[in-house]
Amino acid sequence: MNTLLFKDIDQSALEQCGALIRQGELVCFPTETVYGLGANALDADAVAKIFKTKNRPADNPLIAHISDFEMIEQVASSIPEEMKELTELFWPGPLTIVLPRKKELPNIVSAGLDTVAVRCPDHPIATALIRAAGVPIVAPSANLSGRPSPTCLSHCQEDLTGKIAAIIDGGECSIGLESTVLLPLGNHRVKILRPGGITVDMLKNVGFDVEVDPAVLNPVKEGQKVSSPGMLHRHYAPKAPLFIVCGEYETVCNAILNTMDEETWVLAFDEYLDRFPRAISFGSKSDPLSQSQALFRALREFDHLPCKKIYAMEPSESGMGLAVRNRLLRAASFQMVDAERL
Ligand code: TXA
Ligand code: MG
């Protein structure tokens, strides 16, 4: 299939992409978090193409993206008043809310669940595309299943060229990690199923009690029931095995330097980058947003290098760090090593 590429997209090209969505085709588009692989949420056959193209497990539901609050009625049957408060504060933005599903919505969107995840992205191209299509757009991250999510055009091309109708270039994604997924629990309580740009503190500061699902930082045991099917699947993994090295940063650097060979690479904070013969930037140790912008790009870069093993420095859990840590743990299949034992 010939994949159209739109750079510097204008209104007439957006209309063309909106029409492709309405015709049941897939269009890859930028958001502030990561690139999404979009299809008409109301067209079951179009949604099925997403699962096939990504090789996505059929039990993993999709997020419905809307451009305007009113569009929510097309996907969700209701929204609790207190969730409206959150949408007023954080939409458009990196916040996805799990709501009761509208029964007319194709089953495949929710992978058979009676809920639907909804988000209003904060990106002019995403908003314009949804408006041009005139329908809600379901969009998982635009990677092949298991690979790191794409944060720029070349990542999308790597995974999707020849497989979908069009890719829209929007430059670099400003956050670089996927949205926060929230499950409302009632009485101003919410559970974070996936951490992202809307942090625990941001939610607490506006009067919500926040619970972080244990699966965010711990491996799910066999047979354990999960709140979000995405927690079960292997994610973000580079080809080489990745180990998170724990301990005081100075000790970590020395331990890695003493152990690494020619085929070992390091995911290192900028402050320590020049200590290693082979390393890729993991942003600054004190700036989780810079880590979030660096992580997926770095994980993809390792695959293009003669790299047999990766050691990563350990991010903190505070603020946006929780999201960074969650993705890194999954990329490492939860393999953590103490620097003293390396
Ligand atoms: O930032 C984002 O959210 C990006 C951009 C493109 O908007 N999208 C994205 O979609 O990350 P995806 O499909 O890669 O991840 C969706 C996550 C999965 O972990 C899935 O299991 C969870 O949301 N999810 C979707 N619907 C759900 C539901 N009804 N209940 C619980 N979890 C749900
Ligand atoms: Mg994804």
Q: Report the pLDDT value the prediction gives residue 228, as an integer from 0 to 100.
A: 82
**Atom of ligand 1 minimally distant from the CA of 178:** 1
> Given a cut of 90, is residue 221 above it in pLDDT?
no
Q: Report the pLDDT value the prediction gives residue 162, as an integer from 0 to 100.
A: 98
Burial 198-235 (b: 16+ CB within 10 A, else e): bbbebbeeeebebeebebbeeeeeeeeeebbbbbeeeb
> Given a cut of 80, is residue 232 above it in pLDDT?
no
Say which residues have a Cβ less than 8 Å from residue 248's Cβ, sequence separation at least 6: 339
Q: Report the pLDDT value the prediction gives residue 239, as an integer from 0 to 100.
A: 92
> Given a cut of 90, is residue 14 above it in pLDDT?
yes
Ligand in nearest proximity to the CA of 35: 1
Tokens of 220: 């799910």
The whole-number average pLDDT for the span 249-274 is 98
Say which residues have a Cβ less than 8 Å from residue 239's Cβ, sequence separation at least 6: 302, 303, 307
Q: Report the pLDDT value the prediction gives residue 225, as an integer from 0 to 100.
A: 81
The whole-number average pLDDT for the span 202-226 is 92
Q: Which of 45-54, 213-222, 225-234 has the highest mean pLDDT?
A: 45-54
The whole-number average pLDDT for the span 284-290 is 98
- Report the separation in Å between the CA atom of 141 and the middle of ligand 2, taken as the mean of its atom positions: 4
Q: Report the pLDDT value the prediction gives residue 207, as an integer from 0 to 100.
A: 98
> Given a cut of 80, is residue 18 above it in pLDDT?
yes
Q: Report the pLDDT value the prediction gives residue 236, as an integer from 0 to 100.
A: 84
The whole-number average pLDDT for the span 216-236 is 82
3-state SS track over 274-299: HHCCCEEECCCCCCHHHHHHHHHHHH
Would the CB of 147 count as within 6 Å of ligand 1? no
> Given a cut of 80, is residue 230 above it in pLDDT?
no
The whole-number average pLDDT for the span 27-51 is 98
Would the CB of 60 count as within 6 Å of ligand 1? yes
- Token pair 């600054």 is found at 284
- Report the separation in Å between the CA atom of 167 and the middle of ligand 1, taken as the mean of its atom positions: 20
Task: Give the mean pLDDT of the chain.
Answer: 96
Say which residues have a Cβ less than 8 Å from residue 49's Cβ, sequence separation at least 6: 24, 25, 26, 39
Say which residues have a Cβ less than 8 Å from residue 79's Cβ, sequence separation at least 6: 72, 87, 97, 99
Decide: pTM greater than 0.75.
Answer: yes
> Given a cut of 80, is residue 233 above it in pLDDT?
no
Pairing between β-strand 242-246 and β-strand 309-313 as defined by DSSP bridges: parallel
Percentage of residues in the chain having pLDDT higher than 70: 99
Q: Report the pLDDT value the prediction gives residue 131, as an integer from 0 to 100.
A: 98
Would the CB of 229 count as within 6 Å of ligand 1? yes
Tokens of 88: 């007023």
Ligand in nearest proximity to the CA of 196: 1
Mutate-to-test residue for ligand 1 from 91, 102, 141, 182, highest number of ligand atoms within 8 A of CB: 141
How long a stretch of residues is the chain?
Answer: 342
- Report the separation in Å between the CA atom of 318 and the middle of ligand 1, taken as the mean of its atom positions: 22
Lowest mean pLDDT among 53-67, 95-109, 219-233, 272-286: 219-233
Pairing between β-strand 36-40 and β-strand 27-29 as defined by DSSP bridges: antiparallel
> Given a cut of 80, is residue 49 above it in pLDDT?
yes
Q: Report the pLDDT value the prediction gives residue 15, as an integer from 0 to 100.
A: 98
pLDDT tens per residue, range 127-159: 999 999 999 999 999 999 999 999 999 999 999
Nearest to 132 by CA among 8, 12, 4: 12
Would the CB of 148 count as within 6 Å of ligand 1? no
Mutate-to-test residue for ligand 1 from 35, 51, 63, 107, highest number of ligand atoms within 8 A of CB: 63
pLDDT tens per residue, range 74-100: 999 999 999 999 999 999 999 999 999
Would the CB of 194 count as within 6 Å of ligand 1? yes
- Report the separation in Å between the CA atom of 181 and the middle of ligand 1, taken as the mean of its atom positions: 7
Q: Report the pLDDT value the prediction gives residue 188, as an integer from 0 to 100.
A: 98
- Report the separation in Å between the CA atom of 4 and the middle of ligand 2, taken as the mean of its atom positions: 23
pLDDT tens per residue, range 156-173: 999 999 999 999 999 999
Q: Report the pLDDT value the prediction gives residue 235, as an integer from 0 to 100.
A: 78
